[in-house]
């Protein structure tokens, strides 16, 4: 197979133009072309207003050797092997019980999917509700402010990503093909095929919700089981030669309002970054963990039209997607400020999961058609800022900010104009940017939430961003807070076997500190499933 890299076509090209470009690049006739697949597609706006798509494309031709002889072009690779992901089942140890996966976020879902697909009959435990019930719970919270502690933007089927922007790009290296496999599986269960080659794949909360439901159906059809409203509240271990080994999980069924024990010799803890009670429980059992740097800040909203014009040029074609951006700045105080989880055409969401604490995040639908662009603007904080060396000090640091945000907005999302944020005065009216927020909001002084070093870093960072994207620091840009759940504040230590020192516990995904984002969490779920399959036989249930 031949791979053409950096194949550039005008943004308005047709499929005929595309094929002609392949023929021209390879100096072949139409009859010699047997087929092609796009591997990557990105937009090149460096010469705006002229915009291009840049492709990497795999091409099958009748006589590759002939093309190799005639074409000299360093953008072309020959004898390329197609990417193929392979899940190997080579374990020999017997499992006494079905493997258990705690959490149905991307990490748990993909781990469960792979294990179910290969005969391990996993049980997935999820403290929250299935996606349909969860959607109702979340929408009710946004409307009336009454938080459901187990079914919210952080907890429930699909995990923290379900009410998200559904960006699926990751910076994690993909030596083993897991990234492509995640996208392929998403596409197989209802996401558009184009996510497998777009450089910035995006599906939005509407598509993602449908996809996770289809993946759950697949798991159940392949011998797995998913139990909602099932929160792991404790573990029981036994000791063998001084080593703690997992024996049972204590589970609270919040629908039946009863607690039961589940025997297990293997549990994947894919609990996400917001399972603070579960972190505490594991800490009390002596599971080794350490605090971890993360980042905190605000969401900022601008008109999407302003961003589009900056990124694509003034008279950009209307078929282009709402434009994303990414900005970073290094400040004199040694801290980094950067944009994170940018949501073109999106909404800010009240993403709280604890009573009297408030956190925000960003979300979009597949069409990305709201009037505003929003992004987190965040500052790195490290364990030195937490005021204690306790492994869970980062959680307490987040909680303080979230309590301050809740107070500042009287339980609603506190909102402020950037001009007022700089002047440290509460906003009393909005400017021309109308907040697009899911959840109730209130004008306030968002700056009050933060210690001065964070507030000052955010102000400086946003002013620096204005040099890169003019208008960014406009006085009426809408700030809301607090963006505190950017990644896990703790790492649950695991060894090369991906187990914790408490044997049988596999910390996995973002909450355990091994991923950041939907795709990388899913990849870590796959990696954990691979590890389990390298040690254990598929499970055989006694009839």
Contact with ligand FAD (CB under 6 A) among 301, 310, 510, 530? 510
**Contacts (CB under 6 A) with ligand FAD, residues 261-280:** 270-272, 275, 278
134 vs 128: CA distance, rounded Å:
7
Phi and psi at residue 250, to the nearest 5°: -100, 130
Q: What count of other Cβ atoms lies within 10 Å of the Cβ of residue 310?
A: 19
The window from 367-375, 397-405, 457-465, 503-511 that contacts ligand FAD (CB under 6 A) reads 503-511
DSSP calls for 281-314 = HHHHTT--EEE--EEEEEEEEEEHHHHHHHHH-T
**Contact residue for ligand FAD among 521, 526, 531, 533 (CB under 6 A):** 521
395 contributes a contact to ligand FAD by CB under 6 A: no
In the complex, minimum distance from the CB of residue 445 to ligand FAD, in angstroms, rounded to a whole number: 24
453's CB contacts (< 8 A; 6+ apart) are 333, 335
The one among 56, 135, 179, 231 contacting ligand FAD by CB under 6 A: 231
* 235 touching ligand FAD, by CB under 6 A: no
Q: Are 222 and 141 in contact (CB under 8 A)?
A: no
Q: Taking Cα atoms as reference points, which of 291, 298, 312 lies closest to residue 478?
A: 298
Nearer to ligand FAD, 105 or 426 (CB): 105
Q: Is residue 25 helix, strand or coil?
A: helix
Number of residues that bind ligand FAD (CB under 6 A): 43
Structure tokens at 420: 């007022």
Q: Tell me the longest C-alpha to C-alpha distance in the chain.
A: 73
Q: Which of 295, 401, 518, 529 binds ligand FAD (CB under 6 A)?
A: 518
Of the candidate residues 39, 98, 127, 244, the single one contacting ligand FAD (CB under 6 A): 127
Smallest separation, CB 510 to ligand FAD (Å): 3
User: Could you say which of 99, 112, 122, 159 contacts ligand FAD (CB under 6 A)?
Assistant: 159
Whole-number minimum distance, CB 489 to ligand FAD, in Å?
Answer: 13
Distances from the Cα of 94 to the Cα of 241, 247, 507, angstroms = 21, 15, 21
Is residue 160 near ligand FAD by the rule CB under 6 A? yes
Candidates 45, 107, 413, 433; binder of ligand FAD (CB under 6 A) is 107
Instruction: Report 314-333 residues binding ligand FAD (CB under 6 A).
Output: none
Binding range to ligand FAD, per CB under 6 A, among 163-171, 185-193, 367-375, 446-454: 163-171
Residue span binding ligand FAD (CB under 6 A) among the ranges 65-73, 159-167, 368-376, 535-543: 159-167
**Rounded to an integer, what distance in angstroms lies between the CA atom of residue 275 and that of residue 128?**
12
Taking Cα atoms as reference points, which of 95, 99, 116 lies closest to residue 536?
Answer: 95
Instruction: Indicate the SS3 state at residue 404.
Output: helix
In the shown chain, the binding pattern of residues 65 to 104 toward ligand FAD, with x for contact by CB under 6 A and - for none, equals -------------------------------------xxx
**Going residue by residue from 173 to 202, which x/- string records binding to ligand FAD, judged by CB under 6 A?**
------------------------------
Our CB check for ligand FAD shows the closer of 20 and 250 to be 250
Count the helices and strands in the chain (H runs, E runs). 12, 24
Token output for 217: 């159906």
Residues 6+ positions from 288 with CB-CB distance below 8 Å: 492, 493, 500, 501
Rounded to 5 degrees, φ, ψ at 76 are: -110, 130
105 binds ligand FAD (CB under 6 A): yes
DSSP of 444-511: --GGGGS-HHHHHHHHHHHHHHHHHSTTTT-TT-EEEEEE--SS-SEEE---TTS--SSBTEEE-TTT
Among 100, 289, 349, 405, interactor with ligand FAD by CB under 6 A: 349
Q: Is 506 in the site for ligand FAD (CB under 6 A)?
A: no
Q: Is 156 in the site for ligand FAD (CB under 6 A)?
A: yes
CA-to-CA separations, 117 to 111, 114, 177, 227, in angstroms, rounded: 10, 5, 17, 18
Whether the Cβ atoms of residue 345 and residue 364 lie closer than 8 Å to each other: yes
Instruction: Between 77 and 236, name the residue whose CB sits nearer to ligand FAD.
Output: 236
- CB of 373: closest distance to ligand FAD in angstroms? 13
DSSP 3-state percent helix, strand, coil across the chain (nearest 5): 30, 25, 45
Based on the shown chain and the rule CB under 6 A, indicate whether residue 362 belongs to the binding site for ligand FAD: yes
Considering only the stretches 160-168, 415-423, 469-477, 499-507, report the one whose residues sit in contact with ligand FAD under the rule CB under 6 A.
160-168
Span near ligand FAD by CB under 6 A; candidates 172-180, 191-199, 361-369, 474-482: 361-369
Binding stretches for ligand FAD (CB under 6 A): 102-108, 125-128, 153, 155-156, 159-161, 163-167, 231-232, 270-272, 275, 278, 341, 349, 351, 361-363, 509-511, 515, 517-519, 521
């Amino acid at each position: 197979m031949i791979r053409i890299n950096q194949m550039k076509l005008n943004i308005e090209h047709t499929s005929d133009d595309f094929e002609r470009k392949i023929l021209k690049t390879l100096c072949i006739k139409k009859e010699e072309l047997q087929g092609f697949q796009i591997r990557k597609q990105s937009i090149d706006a460096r010469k705006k207003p002229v915009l291009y798509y840049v492709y990497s494309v795999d091409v099958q031709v009748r006589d590759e050797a002939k093309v190799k002889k005639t074409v000299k072009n360093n953008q072309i690779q020959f004898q390329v092997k197609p990417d193929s992901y392979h899940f190997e089942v080579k374990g020999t140890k017997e499992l006494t019980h079905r493997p258990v996966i705690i959490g149905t976020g991307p990490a748990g879902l993909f781990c469960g999917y792979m294990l179910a697909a290969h005969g391990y009959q996993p049980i997935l435990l999820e403290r929250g509700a299935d996606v349909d019930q969860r959607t109702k719970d979340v929408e009710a919270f946004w409307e009336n402010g009454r938080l459901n502690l187990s079914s919210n933007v952080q907890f429930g089927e699909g995990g923290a990503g379900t009410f998200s922007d559904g960006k699926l790009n990751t910076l994690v290296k993909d030596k083993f093909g897991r990234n492509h496999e995640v996208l392929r599986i998403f596409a197989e269960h209802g996401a558009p095929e184009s996510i497998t080659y777009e450089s910035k794949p995006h599906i939005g909360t509407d598509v993602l919700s449908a996809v996770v439901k289809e993946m759950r159906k697949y798991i159940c059809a392949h011998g797995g089981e998913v139990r909602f409203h099932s929160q792991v509240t404790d573990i029981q271990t036994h000791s063998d030669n001084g080593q703690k080994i997992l024996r049972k999980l204590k589970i609270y069924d919040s629908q039946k309002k009863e607690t039961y024990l589940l025997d297990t010799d293997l549990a994947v803890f894919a609990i996400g970054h917001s399972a603070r009670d579960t972190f505490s429980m594991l800490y009390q059992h002596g599971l080794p963990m350490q605090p971890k740097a993360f980042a905190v800040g605000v969401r900022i909203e601008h008109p999407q039209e302003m961003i589009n014009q900056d990124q694509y040029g003034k008279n950009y074609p209307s078929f282009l997607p709402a434009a994303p951006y990414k900005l970073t700045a290094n400040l004199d105080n040694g801290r980094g400020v950067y944009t994170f989880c940018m949501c073109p055409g999106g909404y800010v969401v009240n993403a709280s999961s604890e009573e009297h604490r408030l956190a925000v995040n960003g979300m979009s639908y597949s069409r990305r058609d709201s009037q505003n662009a929003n992004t987190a603007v965040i500052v790195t904080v490290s364990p030195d800022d937490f005021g204690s060396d306790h492994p869970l000090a980062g959680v307490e640091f987040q909680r303080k900010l979230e309590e301050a945000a809740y107070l500042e907005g009287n339980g609603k999302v506190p909102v402020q104009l950037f001009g007022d944020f700089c002047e440290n005065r509460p906003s009393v009216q909005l400017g021309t940017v109308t907040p697009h927020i899911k959840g109730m909001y209130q004008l306030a002084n968002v700056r009050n939430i933060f210690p001065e070093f964070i507030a000052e870093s955010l102000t400086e960072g946003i002013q620096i961003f204005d040099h890169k994207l003019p208008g960014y620091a406009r006085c009426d840009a809408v700030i809301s807070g607090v963006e505190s759940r950017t990644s896990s504040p703790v790492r649950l230590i695991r060894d090369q076997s991906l187990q914790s020192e408490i044997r049988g516990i596999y910390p996995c995904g973002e909450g355990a500190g091994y991923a950041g984002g939907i795709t990388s969490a899913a990849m870590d779920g796959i990696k954990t499933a691979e590890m389990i399959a390298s040690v254990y036989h598929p499970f055989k249930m006694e009839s």
